[in-house]
Amino acid sequence: MLDLSKYQSIGQALKDALDQFANEVCLIEADRERENERLTYCDFKERAHPLARGLQDAGFAAGDRASIIMTNQCKWLISAYAIFFAGGTLVPLDYKLTPDEQWQLLKHSGASVLITEYPIWRQLSTSAGRAAATSVRTILVTEAPANVELSGARRWEEFRGAGEPIFVSRARKDTACIVYSSGTGGRPKGCMMTHENYLEQCVALTSLYPFWPGVRYLSILPTNHAIDFMVGFFGPFTCGAAVVHLRTLRPEYVREAFPKYKITYVSLVPLVLKNLQKGLQVRFDGLSPAKRKIFNALVAINKALTKSRPRPGISRLLLSQVHEAFGGELRAIIVGGAFTEPRTLQFFYDLGIPVANGYGLTEAGTAITVNDLKPFRADTVGKPLPGMEVRIVNPAADGVGEVSVRSKTVMAGYLGDPELTAETIVDGWLMTGDLGRFDETGHLLLSGRKKNMIVTEEGKNIYPEDVETVFESLPVKEFCVFAANYIWPKRSMTGEKLVLVIHLERGQQYNEELRQDINACNNRLLNYKRIHGVVVLDEDFPRTASLKIKRNVLAERLASLDSASAILHL
């Protein structure tokens, strides 16, 4: 691994990695049974440099912002490197957002370059939101069919400058990426992540979960996501490891990828991990009674032998069939994006497959705590990573309070929102809005949220303000969306739901017609953003002088209601 303490920027570290590991494989891209690409670090450099030069020829300079909206594929990483090489700031956006949402964030970020894929551009180019994002001057589109008109965009494959690009150095405190943690509907939260944030986080994470040449990381989580950017790009590249991309994320192709590419690490969201567990459980349940007995005995022996620490060699020997299905090289599954149920973690650990369970948020530079497996603890989210100071603010009698973090990995602030930055980073401490406590061994246990938001099992952060716009046409006096857990605190991090609070017009009834109206609005939201119930409140909502709803006052009022009877299910 490169000694990252010597580096000032992501671009500088990656530049050296491409030379140091020139002959190692860095990227494999597969689509179903087909392998599209297999690149060495040297090949990668040969692809990226002409693009970097092309960007520079187009006037792209230090500090300029370039956005990538792509599914996981080789060109994502090649483009990102070209942007860093040219001294740019990367704005990775979620390809699953709607085109209007993407334009809104492009406008907010001030990006002058957009790099995207043809299917995404087809949607983006016809979206009304395009008119607002006037800062975007250069648009590069990958994989566009021959002879199609690109509405002002240029072909990525043909966008090449002549000659070598000039490397542009950046300082540790300069912004490397603007990562949106939320805010598509209201107040965009663009986390300004510095080069130092990534360099420090990479050192901390790889001290627990190392990469080296020959390691293969299966990249499934979107690379715009903070976790995959770190463990599916920057981490493996600075260690000479390889990243495997799948263009088709159907469960059967993901399953096949493990043995086919001898995967060492993979990151998953809890939903996918649970699905894997379900699939394995069905197979175990299908064993004959005699085989099941032997299997259970082997699991029991494995549990006893791995009680204090993982022993991959022994586990692979004892439970060879399970491990062969995962390719026989899997060292750990990294799970993130949302809270994972302890029994799912324990299920995998008992099979000899450690799950690197942790806790983090984009604002903190990805991970704050990670399970160090010494020993494995399914009931906690692990201990703080090296370099992380974590404290519990205003703890109650049971020790539970708000988790706050101070570290070199904490973001510089929210882009263009000093007010929100000041609310979130207080005296150098990042207030996470999550509730938890430390146990006597220094492990963090999470127990709920202080903030008005939910996190789905797919790792999606949903802020109520972001979904409210779709309900604007409702024929009610006023409405507001809340996370149920925020109003009626529940000591849980799973099964979180949004509720719509409505105040009806005088004489109006909550009837079938209104319920259908609400459902129609709700169906316009992506499935994971939908509300799950309605609360009818027969009084005016408290408002500020500028007529904004006082959400915290309204939440206190709602808290006095009994949630079981107050929430009407749709």
Partner 1 sequence: MRTLEQTTQEVLDLAAKHFQLPAGSLAPADDFFKKLGIDSLQTLEMLSRIENHFGIELPDYEVQGVSDFRTLAERIQSRL
Per CB under 8 A, residues contacting partner 1 are 32, 71, 95-96, 98, 117, 119-120, 247-252, 271-272, 275, 457-458, 523, 526-528
CB of 247 to partner 1, least distance (A): 7
DSSP track, 81-102: HHHHHTT-EEEE--TTS-HHHH
**Pairing state between β 355-361 and 332-335:** parallel
Tell me what percent of the chain is helix, strand and coil, each rounded to the nearest 5. Answer: 35, 25, 40
Closest-CA residue to 504 (of 536, 526, 481): 536
- Is 268 exposed, middle or buried, given 0-12, 13-18 or 19+ CB atoms closer than 10 A? buried
CA angle 380/381/384 to nearest 5° reads: 120
Which residue, 169 or 523, has its beta carbon nearer to partner 1? Answer: 523
Nearer to partner 1, 218 or 410 (CB): 218
Q: What is the C-alpha to C-alpha distance for residues 187 and 263, in angstroms, rounded to an integer?
A: 39
In the bound state with partner 1, the residue whose beta carbon lies nearer, of 117 and 329, is: 117
CB-wise, 122 or 160, nearer to partner 1? 122
As measured in angstroms, the least distance from the Cβ of 506 to partner 1 is: 33
Pairwise CA distance, residues 126 & 100, whole Å? 10
Considering the complex, what minimum distance in angstroms separates the CB of residue 199 from partner 1?
A: 33
How are beta strands 454-455 and 461-462 bridged, if at all?
A: antiparallel
Sign of CA dihedral 458, 459, 460, 461: positive
| 33 alpha-carbon distance from chain centroid | 27
CB of 529 to partner 1, least distance (A): 11
In which residue are the tokens 């990775």 written?
Answer: 92
Q: 276 or 373, CB closer to partner 1?
A: 276
Closest to partner 1 by CB, 71 or 306: 71
> CB of residue 248 vs partner 1: minimum separation in angstroms?
6
Cα–Cα distance list, 299 to 71, 161, 333, 343, 351 (Å): 38, 58, 19, 15, 6
- Write down the least CB distance from residue 527 to partner 1, Å: 4
Which residue(s) pair with 446 in the sheet? 436
Nearer to partner 1, 274 or 391 (CB): 274
CB-wise, 126 or 523, nearer to partner 1? Answer: 523
Shortest distance, position 537 Cβ to partner 1, whole Å? 26
What does the alpha-carbon distance between residue 209 and residue 372 come to, in Å, rounded to a whole number?
9
**Among residues 151 and 509, whose Cβ is nearest to partner 1?**
151
User: Closest separation between CB of residue 530 and partner 1, Å?
Assistant: 8
Closer to partner 1 at the Cβ: 12 or 104?
Answer: 104
At closest approach, how far in Å is the CB of 524 from partner 1?
10
Least CB distance to partner 1 at residue 252 (A): 6
Residues 6+ apart with CB under 8 A from 34: none
Q: Measured in Å, how far apart are the chain's first and last C-alpha atoms?
A: 54
